[in-house]
A and B are shown apart, each in its own frame.
Chain A
Amino acid sequence: MTEILSGAHILCRTLVEAGVDVLFGYPGGAIMPFYHALSEYPSLRHILVRHEQAAAHAADGYARAGGRVGVCVATSGPGATNLVTGLATAHMDSSPVVAITGQVSRSMIGRDAFQETDIVGITLPITKQNYLVQDAAELADVVRDALAVAQAGRPGPVLIDVPKDVQNQKVAFSPAGVGARVGAQHAAPLPDDGVRQAAELIAAAHRPLLMVGHGVILASAYAEVRALAEKTGMPVITTLLGISAFPEGHPLHLGMPGMHGEVHVNRAIQRADLIVGIGLRFDDRVTGNLAAFAPHAQVVHIDLDRSEIGRNVRTAVGIVGDAAAVTRRLVAATAARNCDPWRAEIEGCRRPPDASFRGGMAPEAILTAIRDATAGECTIVTDVGQHQMWVAKLFPYRRPNTHITSGGLGTMGFAVPAAMGVHLARPGEPVWAISGDGGFQMNMAEMATMVQEGLTVKLAVFNNGYLGMVRQWQQFFHGKRYSCTPIWSPDYVKLATAYGIPGYRVQEASELTDVVGRANAEPGLALVEFVIEQEANVYPMIPPGGSLSEPIEATV
């Protein structure tokens, strides 16, 4: 049945019909007609953030944890430009986010009107698709299209820019049923014998490795990857965004590769004669110097995005397709074998874990306390920097998709707002947002959002008084000149108190279990500051552009 509706109501109706239940946003002049209509749609819960960047990160966190589109809303001009970092983060990490922005009225576009910005132009390289809606009659199809494009194939962000007068324009609206158009996402598949060739390479290899990335989480291909590993005995490496795609405690699990990968993991890569990569893109933080990466290995690369095959590493066999579907076929085609001598060789390179971290307030002790308090069942959202690497290397993830972080873009300030989205996608499950003192101060205003909206997230701040990872680079590569990296922090306990949140400070390891347990048991929000060693480093480290064979290791 056709109705006459304003563009603003069409936006709301199409979001409701698509099953959207949460929006993260901030109102302003050019998006006011939408907000006026929104109050008539109680099924659309709106989370009022304190900065639009947080809206985009929260939508991203919601999308990653919930496996469905996250939606954020902002006004024109500064509201829209504040979304940019969040959209770029989602773009780099293949997260389905739809951003709706207000725009000045059509007659004002191009006249440098108040709060006018060409947000469509600005976001062209960091979105999968974007739209400037010129007529409300197109709006319903644009929203349906945007939601489909964001999720189709390799997910990514999409932006819809809606001029204010289009939001007020009244046109005929027909409810769902119109087929959404999805553009030419997929190139022709590679030859079908890729799976057979891959199986032959696995059978013939003496030192094979399985490397899994974010694509395995996006495709929920956990069982398939585990079946492939267990049938072939191939040791499994998980990239930063692939962490939790394979159980950390599994005997075949090796760890994270690359710049801060453990020595035995990187040595395994350098000695391997076959790497089977599933849903990863061989990013430079994983490979180090490409010319020296895995010099003896042939590469089988399975990815949904054909453009990733052969993009960074030379590929012997490329298979384009969904990680779960392709891996299932590969399991069927592969003969059972084991890799016991190879695994023993890798184990010979393993460093004892206590060689890297010393002192009572070691990151390992903090993360053990969080694991114990949550029985290892929480989702951890990390920021970017040293704490991110410590969590990636040390937290014993057991459940799939319980490690959420900004990988490709490396966005400081991600954890706190993204954790709001994770909480809303997984209500009732414990969520810990772990940040450094630098990243936390970037978006700590979102504590107010959490209080106002009743969101339950545990906030952990690793406070070393430095922008720690930059300081570490200065120590290693810039003659220990700690230029502009010491960073002052407020009294986090008093800050938490000002927001009405229980705040704790831990300075002694003996307090860890008790305080983390109490914070975790708080019915709502809690903040815990961990005062850690000022000049602790993340070891080992491959210098930027260096070979995986040449790590900087801790001197004990």
Chain B
Amino acid sequence: MTASHTVDVLLDDTLLTLNRAVGVLRRRNLAVERLAVRPCGPTGISRMTFVLNTDAATADRVVQQFHKIVGVRAVEVTTVQNHTTEEQP
């Protein structure tokens, strides 16, 4: 059953680490609904947030792949079943 999975990734603030992280999504050809990267907490750390609309097993596999990236500090998933969102104007 598909659900909306919001994945928060804390990672080193370097282009290579970010590139490698995005590559995990690209390689699996996953439909990413939103993606944002912003500075977070201490200097040199970024927070990357993206939303996947997929089943729990796929979301878990993505999370496990993110854990393997050198430079990724933490990965957290929030899952919302049957949620409704409204586009902001």
A248 beta carbon closer than 8 Å to chain B: no
A341 beta carbon closer than 8 Å to chain B: no
Q: B64 near A307 (CB under 8 angstroms)?
A: yes
Task: Give A306-331 as 1s and 0s: 1 = Cβ < 8 Å from B's Cβ atoms.
Answer: 11001100000000000000000000
For the complex, what is the distance from the CA of A237 to the CA of B30, rounded to whole Å? 35
B-contacting residues, A285-343, CB 8 Å: 305-307, 310-311
B-contacting residues, A150-208, CB 8 Å: 182-187
A55 beta carbon closer than 8 Å to chain B: no
Q: When A307-B64, A307-B65, A311-B61 are in contact, do A184 and B70 touch as well, CB less than 8 Å?
A: yes
For the complex, what is the distance from the CA of A149 to the CA of B16, rounded to whole Å? 16
Q: A128 near B67 (CB under 8 angstroms)?
A: no
Q: When A183-B71, A183-B72 are in contact, do A124 and B20 touch as well, CB less than 8 Å?
A: yes
For the complex, what is the distance from the CA of A130 to the CA of B17, rounded to whole Å? 9
A394 beta carbon closer than 8 Å to chain B: no
Q: A132 near B64 (CB under 8 angstroms)?
A: no
Q: When A307-B61, A307-B65, A307-B67 are in contact, do A124 and B72 touch as well, CB less than 8 Å?
A: no
A53 beta carbon closer than 8 Å to chain B: no
Question: Which residues from chain B contact A187 at a C-beta distance below 8 Å?
Answer: 64, 67
For the complex, what is the distance from the CA of A307 to the CA of B70, rounded to whole Å? 14
B69 beta carbon closer than 8 Å to chain A: yes
Cβ-neighbour of B70 out of A183, A306, A310, A311 (below 8 A): A183
Question: Which residues from chain A contact B65 at a C-beta distance below 8 Å?
Answer: 307
Closest Cβ of chain B to A338, distance in Å, is 37
Q: A184 near B23 (CB under 8 angstroms)?
A: no
Label chain B's interface by main secondary structure: helix
Q: Using a Cβ–Cβ cut-off of 8 Å, how many residues does chain A contribute to the interface with B?
A: 21
Question: Which residues from chain A contact B16 at a C-beta distance below 8 Å?
Answer: 120, 124, 130-132
Closest Cβ of chain A to B40, distance in Å, is 16
For the complex, what is the distance from the CA of A267 to the CA of B89, rounded to whole Å? 60
Beta-carbon nearest neighbor of A129 in chain B:
B70
Q: B68 near A305 (CB under 8 angstroms)?
A: yes
For the complex, what is the distance from the CA of A124 to the CA of B21, rounded to whole Å? 10
A249 beta carbon closer than 8 Å to chain B: no
Q: B23 near A124 (CB under 8 angstroms)?
A: yes
Cβ-neighbour of A306 out of B23, B64, B71, B72 (below 8 A): B64
Give the one of B20, B27, B61, B70 with max A CB within 10 A: B70
Task: Give B15-27 as 1s and 0s: 1 = Cβ < 8 Å from A's Cβ atoms.
Answer: 0100110010001
Task: Give B64-89 as 1s and 0s: 1 = Cβ < 8 Å from A's Cβ atoms.
Answer: 11011111111000000000000000
For the complex, what is the distance from the CA of A290 to the CA of B16, rounded to whole Å? 35
Question: Which residues from chain A contact B61 at a C-beta distance below 8 Å?
Answer: 307, 311
Question: Which residues from chain A contact B20 at a C-beta distance below 8 Å?
Answer: 124
On B, residues with C-beta under 8 Å from A are 16, 19-20, 23, 27, 57, 60-61, 64-65, 67-74
7 A-B pairs with least C-beta separation: A183-B70, A307-B64, A187-B67, A129-B70, A183-B71, A184-B72, A124-B23
